C-alpha cells in the first residue's frame, strides 16, 4: 500500500482490463478498489456484506432482484449507491465506465453465489495496483 497520495486518474491509466478490479488502498479490513467496466457483469449475491459503488466516469447501471421484483438503478458520474447484502444484482455499463468499490478484503467480484462467469469477467478478490515508481 502506498504511503503517498494516489491520483485515481493515474491509477486507472495503469490497466485496461474490464471487470478486473485493482486495490487502491486498504482501510482497516476494507479495500477501496477501482475498475474499468463495460458491457454486462454477472448476476451475483454477497451474502454477508453490502457493496458500495462510486461512479468516477461514465454511467453504471445496477440490476436488482428484490422481493418486490426486478428494477434497475442508473448511476451517472459522481453518483454513489450501496447494494444491500443478500440482494442479487448485476452491474452493467453501456459504454466505458470507471468505478470505485468499497468492500471487505477478500470479497469476490462475483459474490458468494453467481451465474456462470463469462470469460470477460475476472472472478477475483482484486489485483494489487501497480503504480510506476518515482523514476519511471
pLDDT for the residue numbered 60: 98
- Give residue 123's pLDDT band: very low, low, confident or very high (50, 70, 90): low
Share of the chain above pLDDT 70, in %: 88
Using the predicted structure, report yes or no on whether residue 134 has a pLDDT greater than 70: no
Please tell me the distance from the alpha carbon of residue 102 to that of residue 94, in angstroms, as a whole number: 22
Average pLDDT over residues 3-23: 93
- Return d(Cα 37, Cα 79) in angstroms, integer: 16
DSSP H helical segments within the chain, as ranges?
8-12
Lowest mean pLDDT among 12-16, 31-35, 128-132: 128-132
Domains and CATH numbers, the chain: 28-119 (2.60.120.10)
User: pTM for this structure?
Assistant: 0.88
Burial class (CB in 10 A: 0-12, 13-18, 19+), 89: buried
Amino acid at each position: 500500500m502506498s504511503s503517498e497520495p494516489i491520483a485515481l486518474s493515474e491509477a486507472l491509466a495503469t490497466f485496461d482490463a474490464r471487470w478486473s478490479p485493482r486495490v487502491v488502498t486498504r482501510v482497516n479490513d476494507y479495500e477501496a478498489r477501482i475498475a474499468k467496466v463495460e458491457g454486462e457483469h454477472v448476476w451475483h449475491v454477497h451474502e454477508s456484506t453490502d457493496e458500495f459503488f462510486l461512479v468516477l466516469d461514465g454511467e453504471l447501471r445496477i440490476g436488482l432482484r428484490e422481493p418486490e421484483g426486478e428494477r434497475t438503478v442508473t448511476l451517472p458520474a459522481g453518483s454513489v449507491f450501496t447494494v444491500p447484502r443478500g440482494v442479487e444484482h448485476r452491474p452493467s455499463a453501456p459504454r466505458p465506465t470507471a468505478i470505485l468499490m468499497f468492500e471487505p478484503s477478500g470479497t469476490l467480484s462475483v459474490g458468494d453465489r453467481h451465474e456462470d462467469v463469462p470469460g470477460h469477467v475476472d472472478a477475483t478478490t482484486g489485483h494489487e495496483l501497480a503504480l510506476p515508481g518515482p523514476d519511471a
